[in-house]
Amino acid sequence: MAAAKTRTSSFSRNLSAAAPSQGPGLKCGPNGTVFLSSGISDLDKILGGGFPLGSLVMVMEDAEAPHHMLLLRNFMSQGLVHNQPLLYASPAIDPRGFLGTLPSPAASKDEKSHKHDPDQEKGLRIAWQYKKYFGESQLNFDGQRDGKHEYSNEFDLRKPLERHFLSAQRVDCVSIQDSPNLSALQDRSATFLSQYPRNDGSISCAGRIAIQSFSAPQCAYSNMEWDMLSFIRSLKSMVRSSNAVALITFPPSLLSPSFCKRWQHMADTLLSVKAIPDEDKELSQLLTGYQDMVGFLNVHKVARINTQVPVILDATTFSIKLQKRRFLVLECLNQAPVDGSSGTSYGTSGSCSGSSKTGNLDF
């Protein structure tokens, strides 16, 4: 192994030559994990590559903002663009209607502002000791830009996905509003996941499950908290032994606090979205770019399968912005240059429960 390549762990899987033939939808990562994209390239970078196959992703909604729908839409569209079959469950009476709102990939990445990066690099003289960091990110960039089939597409939220992606063999929809218990959904998930069993051979295809607003109040089972918990547990174990990723969004404010905590522990990757108040003078003084922000995304947990080493992120709170009202972008929060603010306005650092509805910001 060449010494120039940085390895993040001392164990590396002996990947056979069959691995690259997985196609553009899957990417190999360290420790033998295979990633699929979340549909948002910024989120993939934050999570270290994407969602690993076999993991359960849970998103805590904010009752006051529909940002979890942005995450869901990008996730579902990405799967359809990469020919990864999808099972979608939602509390609406007609879930198929939601498919019409899925975004389409943007025209092409070359048009975006990447082109002025090489020009900038020539002008920059990077000190020699920092060149090793720069080289790594360059590697990632190049890997993503070749060919039309990219691992992670940029989705244009104003353009609906083309009809041919939404054919019945790729998308299966379930309405969970009227079912009195979860056995129907469990059976559907089981049959879906049985098509993508995990074995040591090469991965032919990966599947995606998206469940929207799992504990929505209009669902008949929504007060059966233990049943919902056991459904999540069985889904997690089914997903773990298959080549699929399941994404569940739920509103934590409608659950009792102890169950909210239990659900959070169930997740492999835990995210939460939060609304921001409109025309808030304090926030606009505190943060740059406040006008463009539509919400916050918090990363509470990142899935680590096959490894004991935890991920420690530089930042856990990101702002959600819509560039030109079309492209979803996640950015680190930047404090505006104000005369030194004290620690009191920040409170405690990073609380885990998304169920607090206070106006305070916990960074």
The minimum distance between CB 283 and other proteins, in angstroms, equals 10
Q: Which is nearer to other proteins, 222 or 269 (CB)?
A: 222
Q: In whole angstroms, what is the distance from residue 215 CA to residue 220 CA?
A: 10
The minimum distance between CB 254 and other proteins, in angstroms, equals 6
The minimum distance between CB 67 and other proteins, in angstroms, equals 5
What's 186-255 look like in SS3? HHHHHHHHCCCECCCCCCCCCEEEEECCCCCCCCCCCCCHHHHHHHHHHHHHHHHCECEEEEEEECHHHC
Q: At CA 105, angle to CA 100 and CA 106, rounded to 5?
A: 120
One-letter amino acid at 135 equals G
List contacts with other proteins (CB under 8 A).
63-67, 91-93, 101, 177, 216-220, 222-223, 251, 253-254, 256, 275-282, 294-295, 320, 322, 338-342, 344-345
Q: In whole angstroms, what is the distance from residue 354 CA to residue 91 CA?
A: 21
One-letter amino acid at 3 equals A
Q: Which is nearer to other proteins, 187 or 280 (CB)?
A: 280
The minimum distance between CB 326 and other proteins, in angstroms, equals 13
* CA nearest to 138, candidates 124, 119, 153, 118: 118
The minimum distance between CB 40 and other proteins, in angstroms, equals 15
Q: Which is nearer to other proteins, 8 or 335 (CB)?
A: 335
One-letter amino acid at 224 equals M
* CA nearest to 39, candidates 70, 72, 78: 78
Alpha-carbon distances, residue 192 vs 84, 169, 228 (angstroms): 12, 11, 19
Q: Which is nearer to other proteins, 308 or 344 (CB)?
A: 344
Query: Three-state DSSP class for 126?
Result: coil
Q: In whole angstroms, what is the distance from residue 253 CA to residue 269 CA?
A: 19
Q: Which is nearer to other proteins, 216 or 247 (CB)?
A: 216
The minimum distance between CB 305 and other proteins, in angstroms, equals 32
Q: Which is nearer to other proteins, 10 or 344 (CB)?
A: 344
Q: Which is nearer to other proteins, 119 or 278 (CB)?
A: 278
The minimum distance between CB 70 and other proteins, in angstroms, equals 8
